[in-house]
Amino acid sequence: MQTIAIVDYGMGNVRSVQKAFEFVSPNDRSILTNDPELINDADRIVFPGQGAMGACMSALNEHNLIDVIKKAAAEKPFLGICLGLQLLFDHSEENNGTDGLSIIPGKVIKFTHTDLKIPHMGWNTVNQVCAHPLWHNIDNNARFYSVHSYYVHEEDSSVVTGSTDYGDVFTSAVAKDSLFAVQFHPEKSQHDGLQLLKNFVDW
């Protein structure tokens, strides 16, 4: 049995993420925690997030989780979800400018198309830019559920594993070593989302 630590820093519906992992991997232990020791001891780390980036970075600082997240992302199978993707980058335009964790070089920018509804909310397709174990048994251009007003712009295109078109094509999934992060919500994306979580457990 392995332990999957879902980082709970007070932002977002992390219980839905936990329930999804309990469904796809009932024989493993899925825990919600902001305890650095439990995160360090876990086999796999899930880093979800919802809300504003400034508030999330403040919450991570308050819980002394900055270095813990960086260490986990470098050493263990690590899955970032929604804001958990954006926080991995250097800087965001949100909240008049907010520095991120600088795990992946790049920035987070706001959708600017005036003819599009912002936030980008609902189902959209994800083009699998390159092969990756987390795409196992998921068709290319499968649909996933998203809610976000900002998107990531990476400096190194080699990290891109998925893209989505919303006025412009933007990066919706990245991978680097043992890290994989997505802009969409797999826990809200029915069969394909659950398959991605199962792939992460088996990765």
Residues known to be catalytic? 82, 185, 187
Helix 53-62 to helix 66-75 angle, to the nearest 10 degrees?
100
Q: Give, in degrees to the nearest 5, the angle at Cα 161 between 38 and 5.
A: 10
Residue 139: other Cβ atoms inside 10 A: 12
Tokens of 22: 């309990």
Give yes or no for a contact between 52 and 60, defined as CB atoms under 8 angstroms apart.
Answer: no
What span, in angstroms and rounded, lies between the C-alpha atoms of 110 and 139? 28
Long-range contacts of 164-172 (CB under 8 A, 24+ apart): 164/124, 164/125, 164/126, 164/127, 165/124, 165/125, 165/127, 166/111, 166/113, 166/116, 166/120, 166/124, 167/111, 167/113, 167/115, 167/116, 168/113, 172/126, 172/144, 172/146
Tokens of 115: 């003819």
Residue 61, C-beta contacts closer than 8 angstroms, at least 6 positions apart: none
